[in-house]
C-alpha cells in the first residue's frame, strides 16, 4: 500500500476512496451517566469517569437516579465515526492493516461489502469464528498446537477467514502468531491465504487514541506497550480490524451482538468467483474454554442454526459441553421406561449436577441449567474435538465433518445425505478428503448429485475434482448441454482476455438487436416478451464461435453453427443476421446435448489458460494429436493479444507444452504403424472444423512437430510420387530433356499391387490377414492409386493432388490405363518433376530477361520491341495466369479468405511487386517521354525476379536454413540502421554547418549530410575537405551570388579542430561500436538458427511441397496448355476438381472409429511412459520418500501413545499387585481362612504349584 501517491488537494488515493466512510459508519458515545455503586459516584457503568461525560449526560439527575443498569441501546447515541483507514504497527513490515470503528448496531452487509470490495480482502470459502480464550488466561500447549497445525493449516488450504478478538492476548495472540508463521512459510506457493480479522470491543483496545482521526489515517502509527506480554493491544498479524463500539470502556462482550449478526450474514452468501459456488459460505464457531457468559452466546447461536466445534479439555464452557455430549445425560432404556415428565425432570437434574460440577461457584444455577438444557437439545449442531483421540493433523477432517453434520440437519429430506459434505470438500478444494471419505466405494452416487459440484469445480478451476467426478459416475454427455456450456463462458473472470473478447462480440450483437427493436414503433413489451428477449442479450455460443474464428483463422470451419441452425459455409454477415433473429426466440438448442463435450471443455479451458484442466480434457477427448496442436494454436494467438507479461509467457510455455504432447503421441503412432500415422496426419476432423493435423500444425507454427521423422517421411513420399526416393536428381533432369527414358529402368518406380492378385486364393488370404491386423487397410501414396474415387467413376485431374485413401473392396484398379500412359503420368505428375521443370524454366526466363535488357532492348514503337521482348511479355503473362489460378481457383474458401491467405505469404507479395513493376515498366517503355523510366523500372524488376530464386532453393537441405538465417539477419539490419541513422544525421548536419557557412544547394546538402558520412564508414575520407587547416589547391569562392549560381563555396577554417574531433568520434562509434554490434547480432542470430536449422528447414519445406504439389507439370510459358486443359475439363466436361483439399482425406463410419481408437491407445501408451519417467525422477522419489517419512512419524506418534497407555497399565498393575499383597498379608495375619498350602513365591511357576 503505497501512500506516496499524492493527488490534488493533498489527499492520497486511499483517502479519496474511503472518504465516504464517516457518512455511513457511526460510533457510540454514552449520553446518560449511570452511577457505578462501587465508584462512589465518580464513574459511570459504561466505564468512563464522570468528567469524560458531556453535560447532557449529567443533566437529568432525576432520570439518572431511576436507572440502575446501564444499557448501550438506551444510554448511548450514534455519531460519525472518527477512526478508520490503515494502521501501521511499530516494528512491523511495510504491510498495513485496515481498521474501522463502527457502532454495534451497524448492518452486517455494509461491513461485509467494505471488507471485500473496498479493502480488497479475498472472498472466503470458509469462516471460522474463534470464541473464548480471551483475556490473560493461559492457553494450554495442545490448544496452541491445534490452532497452529490444525486450524490455520486447514484454513490455509481452504482460503478461509478466521475471526477472533484480534487482541494480543489469549487465543487471539496464538491465532495471530500461527497465521504469521504459515504466511511466512508458504507465501510464495500458497494459492489461498488465510485472512485473520479481529473484532474487538473499541473500549477494550489499548492506546486506541492513536487511531482517532476524523478524516481517516493512512496510515495511523500504532504503538503497543509491553511487547512481550499479553495486553489488550491490537495484534499486528491481522489483516483487518472491526472495532465495535457500544459506548462502553473496558468491558468485554460489547462486540458479541454485531459479531453474531456478521457471522449469520456471511453464512447466507455464496462461495466461489462472483458468488458462483454451489453452496453458501460455511461458517463455524470454534469454542475454546470460555467463561460462563459464553453460554448465552452459544445458546442463541445454536438456535439460529450456527454449527459449533468444541475443543474438549480446553477448560470452562468447552469442558461442560464436552461432558454433556460425550457422556449422555439420559440413557435409551431409561427414557423408554419413564414417563415424559419423569424423564424431563431426571434430565434436568443430571444436567444441573454437571453444571454444578464445572461451575460450583456460580450463584444463578437455575439459569445456567436452562441454558445447558437448551444447548443439549441442539446437540446436533455441536461437534467435539478431543485431543487425546485425534491429532492436530486430523483437524481439517473434524472441521469438515462438523459442518457436514450441521448441513445435514438443515438439508432437505429427499437430498443425498452426502451432497453437502461433497460441496464443502469442493469448496475447500480438498480432493483427498473427498476421495477417502466420499468416493471410497461405500456410496453409490447419482449423476444428478454430482452436477452442481461439477459446475463448481469447473468454474473455480479444480481439475482434480473434475477427474474424480468423471471417474465416479458423472456422464459428461448428459451433463454438458449447450446452455451449460454457455453458462461456463459467462462465468469467466472479468479480468481475463477471453472475457474481453467475448464481450466485444456480444456488444456488437446487442447493439444490432437494440437498434432493431428501437427502430420499430411498437408498444412496450410485456413481461413474457421481455423473458423471450432476455437470451438475445446474454452471451451465446455465437460469440464463442466468433472468438474461435478470430483466433484459429481460416484453418478450420466455424464452430457451433449446427446448434444455432446455421449451415456450414454461411457468410459472416448472413450468419449474424440469422443468429440475431434466432436468439430472440425460445432458444431450444440450450437444452440439447453438446455434440463434442470433451473437445468443447478443452477449448473452454484453453481460452482461459487453465493448464491442468486443459490437460485432463485433452486426455479425455479424442483426436489427441490434432487437439494438442489446436490448443497450441489457440494459446499462441492469445499470447499475441495478451498485454500482461507474466500471462503472456505462461501462454507461450503452455503452447510449447501442447506441441510437445502432439509430438510425443505422434511418435508413438509412428512407431506402431507408419501407414496409420500418415492417415492420421491428413484425415479431416469433424470435431475441429474439417481441418487436418498438417494444416493445424502449419497454422500453429508447430516447427518441432514438423521436424518429426514421420511428418517428413510423408512429405518426402508425396514429393517423389510413385518414384523411388533414392532417385538421383541428374537422372530426373536428363529424363526431363529425354522423356522416353521414363519407360526404361533408368528411373525406378514403386511397384503397386496387381489387381489379379486378389483373385487368387493366396491373395485373398493375404488381404484378409492385412485387413485383420490393420484398422482400416493400407495407405497408398501413388497417383496411380488415386483414380475412380468419385461416385460416378470419373477420372481425376492430371494435376490432381496426392490423396491418401483406403482401398475398398473389389479390384484396386477397375479401369487400368495402358503402361505407356500410366508411366508417363507417374513421371510427369510427381511434384519433384514439376519443381525441376519450374526451376529450369525459371532460369531460362531470367536469361531471356537479362538478354532483353542488355542486348535486345529496342526503342519505343514503331522501332521496337524486339521478338525476344514479345516472348518475354508472353512468358510473364503465363506467370500471371498461374498466380490467378492459385489464388482464385484452387480451394473451397471464400474470396476474402483466399486474398487473406495469399497476402500472408511473403513470396506471394514478392510476386505481386514483380508483376506490378513489370506492368509499369512495360507501359512506360512504349512512349518516348517515359522510355528511360520504363527501362529503369524493368531493370529494378529484374532484381525482384532474381531474388525470387531464394524461395525456390528453400527446398535444399543446406541452403534452406541459410535462407532463413539471411531473413532473420535482415531484421537485425533494420535495428542497426536506426542507430546508424541517428549518428549519421547528427554528425552530417554538424559537419556541414561547421565546414560551410552558406550553401543553399539541396543536392550538395544531401550529399554532404548523408552520403559522404556514409562513405566515411568504409574509409573514403577526403582529407582536403575535412582538414581545412592546410591549404589545398581547390577552386572555391566566397561570393554569395556565385555560390547561389552553383559554384563550390570555400570551407570555413574557424572550427577546423572541432570538425576533426567530430570525425574521430564518428568513426570510433560507427566503425568500432556499431559495426561490432551488428557483427554480434549476426553471430547471435546465426548461432540461434543454426542450432535449430534442421527444424526450420523441415517446417519451411512443407509450404514448398504443397505449392508444387498443386502446380501443373508444365512450367511457364508452356503452362498455358495445362490451363486450357483445365478449362475444358471444368467448363465443358464438368469434371469436379479434387484439388480443393490439400493433403486431406475424409474417413467415416468404422474406419474413422477404428483410427480414433488406435490413436487413443497410442496416447495411453505415451501417457504411461511419461508417468513412468516422472515416477523415476528425483523429485518424485523425494515426494514418495517424504510420504513414507510422514507415515513413519505418524506411526511413531501412535507408538508413543501406546507407550503412554502401557505405562498407565503398568502403574495400575503395580497398584493391583500392591493391593493383593496387602490383602494377602491381612488374611495371613488373621485366622479367618486357613490355607492348605503356603503362598506361592515369585520364582514358582504355575505347573510347579499345581504339582505340589
Of the pLDDT bands very low, low, confident and very high (cuts 50, 70, 90), residue 326 is confident
Q: How confident is the model at residue 272, as a pLDDT?
A: 66
Q: How confident is the model at residue 1132, as a pLDDT?
A: 77
SS (H, E, C) 79-101: EECCCEEEEEECCCCCCCEEEEE
Return the minimum-mean-pLDDT range out of 170-179, 459-468, 511-520. Answer: 511-520
Q: Are 651 and 635 in contact (CB under 8 A)?
A: yes
Please check the confidence at residue 586 and state whether its pLDDT lies above 70: yes
Of the pLDDT bands very low, low, confident and very high (cuts 50, 70, 90), residue 1239 is low
Better-predicted residue by pLDDT, 66 or 1206: 1206
* Max avg pLDDT among 26-30, 161-165, 166-170, 937-941: 937-941
* Max avg pLDDT among 52-61, 350-359, 678-687, 1093-1102: 678-687
What is the mean pLDDT of the segment spanning 4-9?
40
Better-predicted residue by pLDDT, 952 or 563: 563
Enumerate the H helices of 591-673 as residue ranges: 597-607, 611-620, 624-641, 645-672
Q: How confident is the model at residue 172, as a pLDDT?
A: 87
d(CA 459, CA 277): 8
- Closest Cα partner for 283 from 402, 434, 120, 410? 402
Please check the confidence at residue 936 and state whether its pLDDT lies above 90: yes
- Report the helix count and the strand count for the chain, using DSSP H and E: 55, 12
Q: How confident is the model at residue 484, as a pLDDT?
A: 93
Return the minimum-mean-pLDDT range out of 55-64, 419-428, 954-963, 1178-1187. Answer: 55-64
Q: How confident is the model at residue 166, as a pLDDT?
A: 87
Please check the confidence at residue 1080 and state whether its pLDDT lies above 70: yes
Please check the confidence at residue 775 and state whether its pLDDT lies above 90: no
Q: Are 438 and 417 in contact (CB under 8 A)?
A: no
Q: How confident is the model at residue 1043, as a pLDDT?
A: 76
Of the pLDDT bands very low, low, confident and very high (cuts 50, 70, 90), residue 192 is low
- Closest Cα partner for 1138 from 830, 788, 688? 788
Please check the confidence at residue 32 and state whether its pLDDT lies above 90: no
d(CA 441, CA 459): 27
Sorted by sequence, the CB contacts under 8 Å of residue 660 that are 6+ apart come out as 704
Q: How confident is the model at residue 393, as a pLDDT?
A: 67
What is the mean pLDDT of the segment spanning 282-311?
87
Average pLDDT along the chain? 80
Q: Are 544 and 560 in contact (CB under 8 A)?
A: yes
Better-predicted residue by pLDDT, 36 or 259: 259
Q: How confident is the model at residue 454, as a pLDDT?
A: 92
For residue 727, what is its C-alpha cell? Answer: 532417385
pLDDT cut 90: percent of the chain above it: 23
For residue 824, what is its C-alpha cell? Answer: 508417363
Strand intervals (E) in 355-409: 382-386
Q: How confident is the model at residue 1071, as a pLDDT?
A: 87
Of the pLDDT bands very low, low, confident and very high (cuts 50, 70, 90), residue 198 is very high
Over residues 1000-1014, the pLDDT tens digits come to 878 888 888 888 888
Strand intervals (E) in 178-216: 195-198
* Max avg pLDDT among 31-40, 747-756, 961-970: 961-970
Q: How confident is the model at residue 810, as a pLDDT?
A: 38
Q: Are 83 and 208 in contact (CB under 8 A)?
A: yes
- Closest Cα partner for 129 from 110, 99, 108, 151? 151
What is the mean pLDDT of the segment spanning 243-249?
87
d(CA 604, CA 544): 9
Better-predicted residue by pLDDT, 800 or 373: 373
Q: How confident is the model at residue 2, as a pLDDT?
A: 42
* Max avg pLDDT among 324-328, 440-444, 504-508, 1227-1231: 504-508
Please check the confidence at residue 850 and state whether its pLDDT lies above 90: yes
Q: How confident is the model at residue 1207, as a pLDDT?
A: 84
pLDDT cut 70: percent of the chain above it: 81
Q: Are 31 and 48 in contact (CB under 8 A)?
A: no
Q: How confident is the model at residue 188, as a pLDDT?
A: 44
What is the mean pLDDT of the segment spanning 87-98?
77
Q: How confident is the model at residue 426, as a pLDDT?
A: 84
**What Cα–Cα distance (Å) separates residue 352 from each residue in 355, 357, 362, 610, 1248?**
5, 9, 12, 59, 58
What is the mean pLDDT of the segment spanning 339-360?
73
For residue 366, what is its C-alpha cell? Answer: 437455575
Q: How confident is the model at residue 1236, as a pLDDT?
A: 67
* Max avg pLDDT among 337-346, 387-396, 967-976: 967-976
- Closest Cα partner for 1017 from 1053, 977, 962? 977
| SS3 at position 1144 | coil
Over residues 516-536, the pLDDT tens digits come to 555 544 444 454 444 444 455
Q: How confident is the model at residue 416, as a pLDDT?
A: 61
DSSP string, 1055-1097: THHHHHHHHHHHHIIIIIIIHHHHHHHHHHHHHHHHHTHHHHH
Please check the confidence at residue 930 and state whether its pLDDT lies above 90: yes
What is the mean pLDDT of the segment spanning 186-201?
70
Return the minimum-mean-pLDDT range out of 186-195, 406-415, 661-670, 786-795. Answer: 786-795
Please check the confidence at residue 328 and state whether its pLDDT lies above 90: no
The sign one gets for the Cα dihedral 263, 267, 270, 273 is: positive
DSSP state of 330: S
Better-predicted residue by pLDDT, 53 or 565: 565
Each residue of 590-620: b (16+ CB within 10 Å) or e?
beeebebbbbbbbbbbbbbbbbebbbbbbbb
As beta bridge partners, residue 285 has 129, 308
Better-predicted residue by pLDDT, 543 or 1240: 543
* Max avg pLDDT among 6-15, 91-100, 731-740: 731-740
Q: How confident is the model at residue 710, as a pLDDT?
A: 93
What is the mean pLDDT of the segment spanning 321-327?
83
Amino acid at each position: 500500500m503505497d501512500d506516496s501517491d499524492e493527488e490534488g488537494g493533498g489527499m492520497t488515493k486511499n483517502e479519496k476512496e474511503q472518504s465516504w466512510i464517516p457518512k455511513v459508519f457511526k460510533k457510540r458515545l454514552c449520553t446518560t451517566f449511570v452511577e457505578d455503586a462501587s465508584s462512589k459516584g465518580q464513574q459511570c457503568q459504561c466505564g468512563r469517569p464522570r468528567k469524560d461525560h458531556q453535560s447532557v449526560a449529567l443533566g437529568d439527575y432525576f432520570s439518572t437516579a431511576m436507572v440502575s443498569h446501564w444499557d448501550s441501546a438506551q444510554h448511548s447515541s450514534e455519531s460519525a465515526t472518527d477512526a478508520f483507514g490503515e494502521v501501521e504497527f511499530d516494528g512491523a513490515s511495510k504491510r498495513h492493516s485496515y481498521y474501522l470503528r463502527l457502532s454495534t448496531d451497524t448492518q452486517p452487509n455494509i461491513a461485509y461489502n467494505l471488507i471485500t470490495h473496498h479493502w480488497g480482502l479475498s472472498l472466503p470459502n470458509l469462516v471460522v469464528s474463534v470464541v473464548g480464550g480471551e483475556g490473560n488466561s493461559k492457553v494450554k500447549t495442545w490448544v496452541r498446537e491445534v490452532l497452529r497445525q490444525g486450524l490455520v493449516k486447514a484454513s490455509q488450504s481452504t482460503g478461509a477467514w478466521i475471526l477472533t478478538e484480534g487482541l494480543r492476548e489469549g487465543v487471539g495472540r496464538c491465532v495471530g502468531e500461527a497465521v504469521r508463521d504459515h504466511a511466512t512459510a508458504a507465501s510464495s506457493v500458497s494459492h489461498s491465504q488465510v485472512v485473520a480479522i479481529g473484532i474487538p470491543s473499541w473500549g477494550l483496545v489499548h492506546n486506541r487514541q492513536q487511531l482517532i482521526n476524523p478524516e481517516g489515517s493512512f496510515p495511523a502509527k500504532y504503538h503497543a506497550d509491553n511487547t512481550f506480554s499479553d495486553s489488550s493491544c491490537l495484534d499486528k498479524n491481522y489483516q483487518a480490524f472491526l472495532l465495535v463500539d457500544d459506548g462502553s470502556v473496558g468491558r468485554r462482550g460489547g462486540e458479541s451482538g454485531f459479531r453474531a449478526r456478521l457471522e449469520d450474514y456471511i453464512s447466507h452468501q455464496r462461495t466461489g468467483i462472483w458468488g458462483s459456488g454451489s453452496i453458501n459460505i460455511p461458517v463455524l464457531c470454534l469454542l475454546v474454554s470460555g467463561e460462563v457468559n459464553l453460554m448465552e452466546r452459544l445458546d442463541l447461536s445454536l438456535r439460529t442454526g450456527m454449527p459449533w466445534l468444541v475443543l474438549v479439555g480446553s477448560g470452562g464452557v468447552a469442558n461442560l459441553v464436552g461432558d454433556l455430549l460425550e457422556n449422555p445425560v439420559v440413557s435409551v432404556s431409561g427414557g423408554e421406561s419413564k414417563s415424559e415428565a419423569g424423564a424431563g425432570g431426571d434430565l434436568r437434574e443430571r444436567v444441573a449436577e454437571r453444571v454444578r460440577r464445572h461451575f460450583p461457584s456460580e450463584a444463578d444455577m437455575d439459569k445456567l441449567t436452562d441454558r445447558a438444557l437448551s444447548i443439549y437439545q441442539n446437540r446436533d449442531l455441536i461437534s467435539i474435538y478431543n485431543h487425546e483421540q485425534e491429532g492436530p493433523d486430523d483437524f481439517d477432517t473434524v472441521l469438515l465433518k462438523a459442518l457436514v453434520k450441521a448441513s445435514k440437519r438443515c438439508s432437505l429430506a429427499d437430498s443425498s445425505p452426502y451432497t453437502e459434505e461433497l460441496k464443502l470438500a469442493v469448496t475447500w478444494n480438498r480432493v483427498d478428503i473427498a476421495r477417502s471419505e466420499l468416493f471410497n466405494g461405500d456410496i453409490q452416487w447419482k449423476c444428478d448429485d454430482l452436477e452442481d459440484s461439477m459446475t463448481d469445480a469447473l468454474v473455480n478451476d479444480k481439475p482434480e475434482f473434475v477427474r474424480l467426478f468423471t471417474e465416479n459416475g458423472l456422464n459428461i454427455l448428459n451433463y454438458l448441454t449447450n446452455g451449460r456450456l454457455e453458462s461456463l463462458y459467462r462465468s469467466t473472470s472479468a479480468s481475463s482476455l477471453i472475457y474481453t473478447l467475448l464481450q466485444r462480440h456480444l456488444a456488437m450483437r446487442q447493439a444490432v438487436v437494440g437498434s432493431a427493436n428501437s427502430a420499430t414503433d411498437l408498444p412496450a413489451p410485456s413481461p413474457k416478451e421481455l423473458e423471450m428477449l432476455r437470451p438475445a442479450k446474454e452471451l451465446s455460443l455465437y460469440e464463442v464461435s466468433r472468438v474461435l474464428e478470430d483466433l484459429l483463422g481460416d484453418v478450420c470451419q466455424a464452430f457451433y453453427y449446427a446448434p444455432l441452425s446455421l449451415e456450414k459455409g454461411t457468410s459472416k454477415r448472413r450468419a449474424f443476421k440469422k443468429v440475431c433473429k434466432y436468439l430472440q426466440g425460445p432458444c431450444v438448442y440450450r437444452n440439447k446435448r453438446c455434440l463434442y463435450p470433451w473437445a468443447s471443455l478443452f477449448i473452454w479451458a484453453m481460452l482461459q489458460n487453465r493448464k491442468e484442466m486443459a490437460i485432463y480434457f485433452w486426455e479425455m477427448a479424442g483426436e489427441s494429436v490434432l487437439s494438442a496442436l489446436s490448443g497450441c494454436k489457440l494459446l499462441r494467438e492469445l499470447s499475441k493479444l495478451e498485454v500482461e507479461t507474466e500471462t503472456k509467457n505462461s501462454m507461450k510455455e503452455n503452447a510449447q507444452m501442447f506441441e510437445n504432447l502432439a509430438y510425443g503421441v505422434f511418435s508413438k503412432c509412428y512407431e506402431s504403424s507408419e501407414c496409420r500415422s500418415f492417415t492420421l496426419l491428413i484425415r479431416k476432423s469433424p470435431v475441429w472444423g474439417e481441418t487436418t493435423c498438417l494444416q493445424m500444425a502449419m497454422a500453429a507454427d508447430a516447427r518441432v512437430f514438423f521436424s518429426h521423422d514421420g511428418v517428413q517421411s510423408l512429405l518426402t513420399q508425396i514429393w517423389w510420387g510413385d518414384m523411388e526416393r533414392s532417385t538421383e536428381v541428374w537422372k530426373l533432369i536428363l529424363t526431363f530433356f529425354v522423356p522416353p527414358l521414363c519407360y526404361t529402368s533408368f528411373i525406378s518406380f514403386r511397384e503397386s499391387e496387381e489387381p489379379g492378385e486378389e483373385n487368387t486364393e493366396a491373395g485373398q488370404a493375404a488381404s484378409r490377414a492385412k485387413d485383420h491386423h490393420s484398422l482400416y487397410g493400407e495407405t497408398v501414396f501413388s497417383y496411380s492409386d488415386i483414380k475412380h474415387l468419385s461416385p460416378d467413376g470419373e477420372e481425376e485431374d492430371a494435376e490432381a493432388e496426392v490423396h491418401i485413401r483406403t482401398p475398398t473392396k473389389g479390384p484396386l484398379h477397375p479401369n487400368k490405363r495402358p503402361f505407356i500412359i500410366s508411366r508417363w503420368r507417374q513421371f510427369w505428375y510427381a511434384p519433384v518433376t514439376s519443381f525441376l521443370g519450374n526451376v529450369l524454366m525459371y532460369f531460362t526466363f531470367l536469361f531471356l530477361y537479362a538478354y532483353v535488357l542488355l542486348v535486345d532492348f529496342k526503342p519505343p514503337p514503331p522501332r521496337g520491341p524486339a521478338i525476344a521482348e514479345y516472348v518475354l511479355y508472353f512468358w510473364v503473362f503465363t506467370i500471371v495466369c498461374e498466380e490467378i489460378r492459385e489464388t482464385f481457383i484452387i480451394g473451397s474458401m471464400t474470396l476474402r479468405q483466399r486474398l487473406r491467405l495469399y497476402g500472408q505469404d511473403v513470396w506471394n507479395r514478392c510476386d505481386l511487386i514483380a508483376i506490378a513493376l513489370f506492368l509499369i515498366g512495360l507501359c512506360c517503355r512504349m512512349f518516348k517521354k517515359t522510355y528511360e523510366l520504363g527501362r529503369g523500372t524493368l531493370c529494378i524488376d529484374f532484381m525482384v525476379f532474381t531474388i525470387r530464386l531464394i524461395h525456390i532453393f528453400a527446398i535444399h537441405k543446406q541452403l534452406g536454413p541459410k535462407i532463413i538465417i539471411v531473413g532473420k539477419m535482415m531484421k537485425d539490419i533494420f535495428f542497426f540502421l536506426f542507430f546508424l541513422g541517428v549518428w549519421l544525421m547528427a554528425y552530417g548536419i554538424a559537419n556541414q554547418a561547421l565546414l560551410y557557412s552558406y550553401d543553399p544547394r539541396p543536392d550538395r546538402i544531401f550529399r554532404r549530410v548523408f552520403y559522404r558520412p556514409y562513405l566515411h564508414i568504409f574509409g573514403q575520407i577526403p582529407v582536403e575537405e575535412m582538414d581545412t587547416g592546410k591549404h589545398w589547391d581547390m577552386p572555391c569562392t566566397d561570393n554569395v551570388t556565385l555560390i547561389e549560381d552553383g559554384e563550390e563555396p570555400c570551407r570555413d577554417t574557424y572550427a577546423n579542430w572541432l570538425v576533426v574531433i567530430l570525425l574521430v568520434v564518428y568513426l570510433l562509434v560507427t566503425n568500432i561500436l556499431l559495426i561490432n554490434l551488428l557483427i554480434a547480432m549476426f553471430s547471435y542470430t546465426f548461432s540461434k538458427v543454426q542450432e535449430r536449422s534442421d527444424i526450420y528447414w523441415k517446417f519451411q519445406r512443407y509450404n514448398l511441397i504443397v505449392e508444387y504439389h498443386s502446380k501443373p507439370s508444365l512450367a511457364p510459358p508452356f503452362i498455358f496448355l495445362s490451363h486450357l486443359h483445365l478449362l475444358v475439363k471444368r467448363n465443358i466436361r464438368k469434371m469436379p476438381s479434387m484439388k480443393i483439399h490439400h493433403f486431406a482425406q475424409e474417413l467415416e463410419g468404422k474406419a474413422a472409429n477404428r483410427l480414433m481408437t488406435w490413436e487413443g491407445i497410442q496416447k495411453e501408451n505415451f501417457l504411461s511412459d511419461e508417468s513412468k519417467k516422472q515416477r523415476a525422477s528425483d523429485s518424485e522419489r523425494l515426494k514418495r520418500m517424504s510420504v513414507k517419512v510422514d507415515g513413519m512419524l505418524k506411526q511413531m506418534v501412535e507408538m508413543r501413545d501406546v507407550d503412554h497407555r502401557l505405562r498407565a497399565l503398568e502403574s495400575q498393575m503395580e497398584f493391583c499387585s500392591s493391593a493383593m499383597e496387602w490383602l494377602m498379608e491381612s488374611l495371613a495375619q488373621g485366622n479367618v481362612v486357613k490355607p492348605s498350602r503356603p503362598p506361592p513365591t515369585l520364582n514358582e511357576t504355575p505347573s510347579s504349584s499345581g504339582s505340589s
